[in-house]
Amino acid sequence: MSTARLVITAVTLEGVSVAEAARRYGVHRSWIYKLLARYESEGEAAFESRSRRPRSSPNATPPETVSLLRELRAQLVAAGLDAGAETLAWHLAQHHDITLSRSTVHRILVREGLITPEPKKRPRSSYLRFQADQPNECWQSDFTHYRLTHPDGRPGPDVEIITWLDDHSRYALHLSAHHRITTPIVLGTFTQATDLHGYPAATLTDNGMVYTVRYAGRGRQGGRNAFENHLRQHGITQKNVAPNHPQTQGKVERFQQTMKKWLRSQPAQPATIGQLQILLEAFQVEYNTRRPHRSLPHQATPATAYTARPKTGPTTDRTNDTHDRIRTDRIGTTGTVTLRHASRLHHIGIGRAHAGTYVRLLIRDLDVTIINLTTGEILRELTIDPTRNYQPLTQTRPASNQPRKQQWPYVSVGPLSPMS
C-alpha cells in the first residue's frame, strides 16, 4: 500500500491528527494537507503518481533549432568532419547566430538518438596534456597508410601519407602521399615545410628508422641518418618518443584519424597517388582554415592560432659540436669495413691481408681511426669523402692549415680483447 493511501486512511478513517500522521509516516504536514484536498476533489485518482514536469518550459530549445541541429550533424558526418557537441555549438553561433551551451547540444543529441554511448571510452580529462607555448617550438611528424581504389571499385595498392604538424597550433604544415616513406622523403618533406614556415626549435617523432637510427640494429647504433644530420646542422633539437608509448604523439595521431575519416567520406576515392594528393591538399585547406579545433582556445582554426603569436626557432649553437661514436667490426674478405654516414653506406679499404681481423673504429664526424682489436695497432686513419661509396687505401686525412679537432685519446693502446 502506498504512503499516500496509508496517510489518507489514518486521517479519515482512524481519526489520526495531521501532525501525528506526519510523524508516523515521516512526511511533511503541508504535503498531507495537499493530499487531503486532492482526495476530496478527485477521490481515488489522488493516489495515482503525477509527473513533476512543469506545465510550460519557456527556456526549452525551440523545435526549429533541434531540427537545425539534426541537419547540421548529418551534413558534417556526410562530409567526414567532426560533428560533436562543441563543433555543432560553434556552427550554430558562427553561422546561425544561435547560442547553445555544449551540454545543451549534447542532451539534445542524446534525446534524439544521435549519439552512440561509449561507457568504456577513456575521458579526455584523464590524459596528461602538453602543448608548446609558441608556433614552431615543436613540430610533430608521423606517417600512416591509405589504400587506393581502382576505377572499378577493387582495392588498389597501399600507399603512405606523411604529416608535419605544428604542436602549438595543430597547423598542418605538410601533407604528401608516397609509395613508401624513406629517410630522403622525410628530409625532403621537412625542408619543403621549412622553406614555407621557417625552422622549428625541435621535432618530435617516433623511433622509426626513417627518423632516427638511435635504436637500429648492430652496425648502425650510434650513427645518424641524413635527417638527423640535417637537424644537427641547423641546431634543431630532435625528440623521439619512448618505445611503446604512442600517446606522446597524440596530436599527430589524432590528426591522421581525422584526415583518414575525411578521405573515406569522399564519394570519388583516389585511384592514383596524384589523385590522393589533390584530396590531401583540399583537406589541408579545410582543416587549417575552415574547421574549428576543439582543443584550441575559443575553438579557433589552426591557421588563426599559428599566426596569433610570434614564431620561435632553433636556439642551440652547435658550431663546435662533434658526433663521436665507437664501433667494433670485422674486416671482410675483400679487405674492407663498412660505415654508414648520413644514411649512405661507405666501404673503407684496409687490405686483404687483414681479412677476418676484428677492429675497433673510432669515429669523430668524418674522421675515422681503425685499430686492430687484438694488438692495438692503428691500421688506418682517414677522413671520409661523403661523395664516394668506396674509400680507397690511397685516401688519407687531407693536409690543412686549419687546427684539427681534438682526436681520440688512444695513445699507447695495448692488446684488446675481442669481447671488450
The CA distance from 361 to 327, in Å, is 5
Q: Which ranges in 234-272 belong to alpha helices (H)?
A: 250-264
Q: Is residue 409 part of a domain?
A: no
Asked if 179 contacts 160 with a C-beta cutoff of 8 angstroms, the reply is yes
Are residues 259 and 184 part of one domain? yes
Are residues 111 and 220 part of one domain? no
Q: What is the pLDDT of residue 411?
A: 39
Are residues 343 and 231 part of one domain? no
Per-residue pLDDT tens for 24-77?
A: 889 999 988 988 888 888 888 777 777 777 776 777 888 888 888 888 888 888
Its domain, for residue 92, covers: 63-116
Are residues 207 and 136 part of one domain? yes
Which sign, positive or negative, has the C-alpha torsion 146, 293, 314, 364? negative
Does the pTM of the predicted model rise above 0.75? Answer: no
Are residues 185 and 304 part of one domain? yes
Q: Is residue 405 part of a domain?
A: no
Residue 236 pLDDT level (bands cut at 50, 70, 90): very high
3-state DSSP helix/strand/coil percent for the chain, to nearest 5?
A: 35, 20, 45
Per-residue pLDDT tens for 133-148?
A: 899 999 999 999 999 9
CATH of the domain at 234: 3.30.420.10
Are residues 265 and 372 part of one domain? no
Are residues 386 and 242 part of one domain? no
Residue with more model confidence, 299 or 354:
354
Q: Is residue 398 part of a domain?
A: no
Per-residue pLDDT tens for 161-179?
A: 999 999 999 999 999 999 9
Residue with more model confidence, 167 or 296:
167
Q: Is residue 400 part of a domain?
A: no
Q: Which domain-ending residue is among 283, 308, 333?
A: 308
DSSP symbol at 156: E
Q: Is residue 196 part of a domain?
A: yes
Per-residue pLDDT tens for 3-33?
A: 888 888 888 888 889 898 899 889 999 988 9
For range 113-119, the mean pLDDT? 73
What is the tally of structural domains in the chain? 4
C-alpha cell at 333: 674478405
Per-residue pLDDT tens for 364-399?
A: 888 889 988 888 888 998 988 888 999 998 866 655
Are residues 344 and 290 part of one domain? no
Are residues 228 and 141 part of one domain? yes
Which sign, positive or negative, has the C-alpha torsion 325, 331, 335, 336? negative
Are residues 71 and 41 part of one domain? no
